[in-house]
Amino acid sequence: MNEQAAVVSLKSVTKDFARGGVRALEEIDLDVRPREFISLIGPSGCGKSTLLRIIGDLVQPTAGEVVVNGKQAHQARLDRDYGIVFQDAVLYDWRTVAKNIALPLEMLGWDRERRSERVGEMVKLVELAGFEDHYPWQLSGGMQQRVSIARALAFDPPLLLMDEPFGALDEMTRERMNMELLRIWQESGSTIVFVTHSIAEAVFLSTRVVVLSPRPARITGVVDNDLPQPRNTDTREQERFFELVTEVRELLRTGDRSGEELRA
């Protein structure tokens, strides 16, 4: 696959925070191909959320090049080339479920009829039919996050950025949401960059796991995930699953060690 086809292409991306001169990211190189499900995993505070925001042109890198969908990240944002899901659902609580999902469609100037048709589809996709007229505060955390995923996918962006979207959910809800996300990913055909600090979640979901070191984050290693698709609850019990989990864990540890050496 050539570079033109990459959905996200990062070249030597470095980020220094002005305050205190802290280096968050160092020389990050990464290509995300169409239909990939990439997980970014690293210790908390390592800068993986910052990296996600740099891809989304919400934070500017200090150095390096960010290309999204074949254009500069800034242009990609102007063209609404990606949807984003945060750790909290970030729903507007004066809007109903249907109106929250329709928010990006309003921005794009879709007419009412087209909006409500798409909202109907999205509500079905995230299995919230019947809750269209509910307000966010009437929903559970898991349901709120499904609304936020529906909102991100509503305008059919080629890229979905997810910043620890299930981090605030309990383990059971989280595993169910993982299953649903995989189904949605397959049905929608989008490319996903997913930030997490859960090794199991990263291995279960991704086609590739990108392991980051503690600050300043560098890519310690990339694990190709050959677990068969479609994945289901049995996937978590396969031997290969545990091997991959171990591999990721080892890489996280290596990153830690090299960090210590650097500090020493």
Partner 1 sequence: MLRRGLVFVAVLAGLWALWEAYRAFGVAVSLTWPFEVNGRTMPHIHDMIGQLFEPSRRNGPLLIEVLGKAALFTAKEAAVGFALGAGVGFLIAVALVHSTLLQRGFLPYIVASQTIPILAIAPMVVVWLGGRGLPGWFSVSVIAAYLTFFPVAINALRGLQSADPRAHELMNSYAASRWTVLWKLRVPASLPYLFAAFKIAATACVVGAIIGELPASIQDGLGGAILNFNQYYASSPESLWATNIIAALLGIAFFLVIVLAEKLVVRRAPEHFV
Residues that bind partner 1 in the complex, under the rule CB under 8 A: 53, 56, 58, 77-78, 80, 82-84, 86, 88, 90, 92-95, 103-104, 106-107, 135, 137
Nearer CB in complex with partner 1: 94/113: 94
CA gap 220, 98 in Å, rounded:
42
Going along 175-251, which residue ranges are E strands?
A: 191-196, 208-212, 219-224
- The one-character DSSP state at 53 is H
Q: What residues contact 215, with CB distance under 8 A and at least 6 apart?
A: 22, 23, 24, 45, 46, 47
Min dist. Cβ of residue 94 to partner 1 (A): 5
Min dist. Cβ of residue 50 to partner 1 (A): 12
Nearer CB in complex with partner 1: 59/179: 59
Min dist. Cβ of residue 74 to partner 1 (A): 9
Closest CA to 49 of 160, 163, 148, 199: 163
Continuous segment of H or E residues that includes residue 50: helix 48-55
Min dist. Cβ of residue 105 to partner 1 (A): 10
Nearer CB in complex with partner 1: 147/252: 147
Min dist. Cβ of residue 128 to partner 1 (A): 19
Nearer CB in complex with partner 1: 47/56: 56
Nearer CB in complex with partner 1: 76/211: 76
Nearer CB in complex with partner 1: 136/259: 136
Continuous segment of H or E residues that includes residue 153: helix 141-153
Provide the CB-side half-sphere exposure for 165 (13 A, CA).
30
Closest CA to 248 of 196, 190, 191, 183: 196
Min dist. Cβ of residue 195 to partner 1 (A): 14
Give Dmax over CA atoms of the chain in angstroms: 63
